[in-house]
Structure 1
Amino acid sequence: MLKPRIQDDMKAAMKAGDKRRLGVIRLILAAIKQREVDERIELDDSQTLAVLDKMVKQRRDSVAQYEQAGREDLAEVERYEIEVCQQYLPEALDEQALADLVAQAIAATGAGSMKDMGKVMAELRPQVQGRADMGAVSAMVKQRLGS
C-alpha cells in the first residue's frame, strides 16, 4: 500500500529532522486527503498514483515558468518536490516499452483512425499512469493513428 508508506516516510523525516523532505511529504498527504474528502472515498493505490502524477506535472509546469522568469531559486524548490514525489511513482517506462503498450492498445481497441483516440487512451491510462507523461503518450498515439 502506497499511502501507509508515505505516512511512514513522514514519521521518518520527522525523526531525522529533515524539514525540507517533511514539507513535501505533507504536501503529498494533504493532496491525497483533499481528494478523499472531496470525493468521500478512501483512495486506493492507483488513485494515489494519479494524485502524485498530477503533482509532478504541476511542478514541471512551474519549473518551466520559473526558469522562463529567471527564478532559478524557485525552480530548484520545485525540482526537489518532483524528486520526492517520483520516489513513490513506479519506474518510468522507456521509449520502446511505451511504444509496445501503444501498439497493444491500438490492436486491443481495433482503432484505425483519429476518431478512436479516446478508446486507445482509455485503454492505456491505467497501464501508464505515473510511469509516463500522458502528453508524450498522447503524441505517440496521434502519430500512430495519423499514419
Structure 2
Amino acid sequence: MSDCIVRDQLTEAMKEAMRNRDKSRLGTIRLALAELKRIEIDEKSLDDQRALAVLDKMVKQRRDAIEQFESAGRTDLADQEKLELNVLADFLPTPLSESEITELVDLAITSTGASSMADMGKVMGIVKPQAQGRADMSSISKIVKSRLG
C-alpha cells in the first residue's frame, strides 16, 4: 500500500468500474487519478490531505460548470457534470453540518484569540485542514467573517 489512501481507493474503484463496464464512472475516476498523478510528479509527494484538496477542487469546478450550463440552458452538459460530481463526491469524507462548521470556527477563534478581521488568516489556517473536502471554504469564510466582523 502507498501512503495515499484516497489514491488507493480511486484505483480500486477504477478496477471495479472496468469490471462492471461502467464507462461514465470509469472516465471520471481516471480523470481524478490523472490529476493526482500530475500533482505527485510536480510536488514529488502526495498525501491524503493534498489528494482531498485536489478532489475538493474538482468538485467545486463541477458545481461551477453545472451552474453555468444550467443558466445557458445546456441541460445535457449539466447532467454530465452532475454525474461526474456524484462520482467524485463518493471519495470525499462525509460533509460537515452547519453546526459542526460553526463549532470548528468558534474553537479556532478561541484557540487563536482572534478578535478582528485582521486575524481571519489565523482562524482559516486552523479550520481549513479540518474541513478540507468536507465543507465549502467560501461558506466557512463567510462564517468566520460574521464571527469576527
Q: Which residue of 1 aligns with 2:37?
A: 33
Give the root-mean-square deviation of aligned CA atoms.
Answer: 0.7
- Equivalent in 46, 55, 59 of residue 56 of structure 1: 59
1:83-107 CA distance string (max 9 Å, x none): 0111110000011111100000000
Q: Which residue of 2 aligns with 1:16?
A: 20
Inter-partner Cα distance in structure 1 for 2:7 and 2:82: 22
- Mapping of 1:88-107 within 5 angstroms? 88-107=91-110
- Mapping of 1:124-135 within 5 angstroms? 124-135=127-138
Inter-partner Cα distance in structure 2 for 1:4 and 1:123: 27
1:98-125 CA distance string (max 9 Å, x none): 1100000000111000000011000101
Inter-partner Cα distance in structure 2 for 1:20 and 1:71: 19
Inter-partner Cα distance in structure 1 for 2:85 and 2:114: 34
* TM-score, normalised by the number of residues in structure 2: 0.95
Inter-partner Cα distance in structure 1 for 2:73 and 2:42: 36
Deviation at residue 25 of structure 1 after TM alignment: 0.3
Q: Matched residue of 1:91: which SS?
A: coil
Inter-partner Cα distance in structure 1 for 2:126 and 2:94: 20
Inter-partner Cα distance in structure 1 for 2:86 and 2:12: 18
* TM-score, normalised by the number of residues in structure 1: 0.97
Inter-partner Cα distance in structure 2 for 1:123 and 1:5: 27
- Equivalent in 63, 66, 69 of residue 66 of structure 1: 69
Inter-partner Cα distance in structure 2 for 1:39 and 1:3: 15
Deviation at residue 5 of structure 1 after TM alignment: 1.2
Structure 1 gap segments, 5+ residues each: none
Q: Which residue of 2 aligns with 1:119?
A: 122
Detail structure 1 runs of 4+ shifted over 6 Å in the superposition: none
Inter-partner Cα distance in structure 2 for 1:76 and 1:107: 43
Inter-partner Cα distance in structure 2 for 1:34 and 1:60: 22
- Equivalent in 69, 75, 79 of residue 78 of structure 2: 75
Structure 2 gap segments, 5+ residues each: none
